[in-house]
Structure 1
């Protein structure tokens, strides 16, 4: 049984509204315990991105960082056999991650993350072997996407080398087959599928971030491949490999059932079946998990309701698409915070989620963390006008003109994974994007201080650290001079800005817009 991309969701609660949601480890626990009554020897694995993602997780990593991380407490309570490191495990730094690993009663696996000095797996074992009753031998190998250095704060991964995940899997699968001779070999990979499962056509730019398709089709010896990272619901087979991806936030529990047949030479696999057990109103939260986390949950709720400042006017977001199609007060506010923190006058920022609601009236930590759910820090890059134009052309690919003539979202930003956060909006320049023009030819106006921005003109631009590292295929940023870094995450910067000003006046200078002119 498999969880993946839990992202700090334990209790079944929406932290914006306090309403119940059919998500989280407390409800997953009910399914796990019921399954154990029927199959006492089941293996339970988490496939990464456990420690970050909710206000509860943020509080646990900040105000509650000296305590046992509640996500680790839950996995210990449920007797997980292993966990795999995800990219978001590094978001709060190696000290917090090291404490989480130390406090775990199960091993953390990642064959491709190695210590720079020893060249050995940095977090202990790359794999485990379990011998079940009847002598059935199961090997579980953990692998993590090697694309993490393209996103993560360098201080959070200092001393680590991230090997190509596909190559690491090939190396260790061969080793396990030769040395351990398992009856079943499972690879748990915190990464997803780079190609369409049916056609084999690329489903994204083949950067190496996701390599699950290649693992199924190019790698000999895998029986089951657990995947994640893309937040998809997958339970199928590819190239004779049973594949699984159980969504995100504890919306489903993945299950792979394997039947064996005994022959003269030992056990062989007779049948494999992957399925998803979805949570709904019929699944109650497990009382033991609720009790285990109730103290931290109560502390989190009190902390979330702390008033931070006020907004004079309306920054609420009625429509995410409308917000992204013309300058909006909330996006202008985001860019103002970034420019204030970095001491520059050009900035870009993204609406991170379609669930972001913006601000109005009194603003609490609950409001801030509902809109700024990722612990991104800020980086100032020295760019040229040509770099800015290239970035705007890439961001303009977010749009399409629908058949009925309305503005829509390019499906590439929706499937196989939602990527709304890869569309940026700028302050400090004036520009216009024409969604009716071909991709790569959509920037129809680009000015700086009322004058055309020249290709060789240099300017300092602040953005989040994920984008500054080229995240979202913004290759034009890679290798650019880093002028300065602001090593405080965005949620804290917003809180500080509101506390400093007390009351923030809503503004919108309408410096950009999207049009549809054939």
Structure 2
């Protein structure tokens, strides 16, 4: 009779790397504690101490930094640096994330084609063939007669944000339904000892109480998956940039944050009996990269890409007359600021629209210094957005302003602060817009839905049934951020060039840009 045998399997997962490799902040090259160079150090250490290691990326890999931007726009005849690194680190699989589509299907096809590992997404479907677009919905790994299945799924909310040309010919099936279907099929066909789902999406409910933490749009279905899909041992998640390690019922759940700040680790131990394997234990943890040194092998691997990126970022493109620097992000969102006014006026001039809206994407934006470089442009305008001009009624604009006004609350000290819903579980500062071409006041002391106390254009009240041409980024124009009042509205004009490129060209053509303020809006309490 064979003796029982113990087998230990380690699964490591990254998610939402967003183009971060070196531990630097490109805005000023200061040191930070994230990036694939640090992740590599952890991976190598785990491979030295663990019996068997499986490595997964959970999506949003190829977009997000000047490194990836410069590669796509200036160096795309070479191998994608992110794929080069994952190939080098011998990843076993990757899942398609929503930001994989940001640079268009050609860039994504090339990245997938050059990968030495499969890209998984069972619910992104070829509309013509009605089969998974990226080929493999799942993979099987055999480790000492232990059969391990890994299914990849992606948030199906992508059409709500992405440029239609970037997802042409694709269907996005409801993630929960697709997961149910494929898990059932995998169990019936493969009978795996371990079933892992890697989901580029997050949790719509509190993991302990089960209370809703966001609008039930379907963007995040992790909690439902754990509750309604039988047979999943481990659910890797992402998209929300949270750090999560725990359990929902019988499913181990993990989410390793963003930018390569951490690595998610799941350890599974099994006992092998003759002809049968039993799971003894599943544990999970988040391994921080904070005190980890960067792997020089990875640094060297992308050294040419990095040198060319830094040279490009240091290109001087223009001068600011006045002050467009951002000192306090909250104050920028409370009253008109020269940087926001500049972005809006640039959008209006380029598009010909009479009204514009934009946001301050995150709290790391520093605005423009006196001498502007490409580094300043791409560090402030961090997304590869394009512009659209919509035909909106005045009532649409008012509804949008009321939605933006929910970004604020008044605290016990009668001070205005950011609504916690825009901070946790995921920072969403980009869902608060500031407008040009209209005059308005938001009074946060008023009840939600009635905070717009002034809304005028040229000294006259905005006509609720009048139509106006409004320019905004494509994410917002598609209804992203729950701005459903913009969905299905007529598109008057599309400008299919990255806003960061438009900004750079605009500054270069003029040489000098002037900081101005017309004080057309403010927030009060």
Give the TM bin, normalised by the shorter chain.
over 0.9
- 2:76 aligned with 1:56, yes or no? no
Q: Distance in 2 between matches of 1:15 and 1:398?
A: 28
- Which 10-residue stretch deviates more, 35-44 or 227-236? 35-44
Q: Distance in 2 between matches of 1:200 and 1:60?
A: 42
Counterparts of 1:161-200 in structure 2 under 5 Å? 161-200=171-210
1:72 CA drift (Å): 0.3
Report the secondary structure of 2:54's partner residue: coil
Q: Distance in 2 between matches of 1:384 and 1:451?
A: 15
Deviation digits for residues 132-190 of structure 1 (CA, Å, limit 9, x no counterpart)? 01x01100000000100110111111111111111111110001000000000000000
Q: What is the TM-score of this pair, normalised by structure 1?
A: 0.98
Deviation digits for residues 114-141 of structure 1 (CA, Å, limit 9, x no counterpart)? 11110111111000000001x0110000
Say if 1:194 and 1:213, in contact at 8 Å, map to a contact too.
Answer: yes
- Corresponding position of 1:234: 244
| 1:285 paired residue among 294, 311, 321 | 294
- Corresponding position of 2:9: none
| 2:522 paired residue among 471, 496, 513 | 513
- 2:388 aligned with 1:376, yes or no? no
Deviation digits for residues 336-377 of structure 1 (CA, Å, limit 9, x no counterpart)? 111122111200000011100001211001000110110010
Q: Distance in 1 between matches of 2:174 and 2:76?
A: 32
| 1:87 paired residue among 98, 109, 112 | 98
Say if 2:319 and 2:370, in contact at 8 Å, map to a contact too.
Answer: yes
1:41 CA drift (Å): 2.2
Aligned residues: 514
Q: What is the TM-score of this pair, normalised by structure 2?
A: 0.97
Runs of 4+ with deviation above 4 angstroms: none
Say if 1:312 and 1:360, in contact at 8 Å, map to a contact too.
Answer: no
| 1:100 paired residue among 111, 133, 158 | 111
Report the secondary structure of 1:261's partner residue: strand
Counterparts of 1:399-418 in structure 2 under 5 Å? 399-418=408-427
Counterparts of 1:306-385 in structure 2 under 5 Å? 306-385=315-394
1:264 CA drift (Å): 5.9
1:198 CA drift (Å): 1.2
1:286 CA drift (Å): 1.0
1:14 CA drift (Å): 1.4
- 2:300 aligned with 1:296, yes or no? no
1:265 CA drift (Å): 5.8
- Corresponding position of 2:32: 21
Report the secondary structure of 1:254's partner residue: strand
Say if 2:354 and 2:468, in contact at 8 Å, map to a contact too.
Answer: no
- Corresponding position of 1:7: 18
- Corresponding position of 2:84: 73
- 2:60 aligned with 1:42, yes or no? no
- Corresponding position of 1:270: 280
Q: Distance in 1 between matches of 2:493 and 2:46?
A: 52
Deviation digits for residues 398-430 of structure 1 (CA, Å, limit 9, x no counterpart)? 000011111101111011100000000000000
| 1:152 paired residue among 122, 147, 162 | 162
1:395 CA drift (Å): 0.4
Q: Distance in 1 between matches of 2:475 and 2:45?
A: 40
- Structure 2, gaps ≥5 residues long: 1-11
Deviation digits for residues 58-104 of structure 1 (CA, Å, limit 9, x no counterpart)? 11111111110111000000000000000000000000000000000
Q: CA RMSD in A?
A: 0.9
Say if 2:152 and 2:199, in contact at 8 Å, map to a contact too.
Answer: yes
- 2:480 aligned with 1:471, yes or no? yes
Q: Distance in 2 between matches of 1:454 and 1:214?
A: 43
Say if 2:478 and 2:486, in contact at 8 Å, map to a contact too.
Answer: yes
Say if 1:327 and 1:512, in contact at 8 Å, map to a contact too.
Answer: yes
Report the secondary structure of 1:62's partner residue: helix
Report the secondary structure of 1:466's partner residue: helix
- Structure 1, gaps ≥5 residues long: none
1:262 CA drift (Å): 3.0
- Corresponding position of 1:119: 130
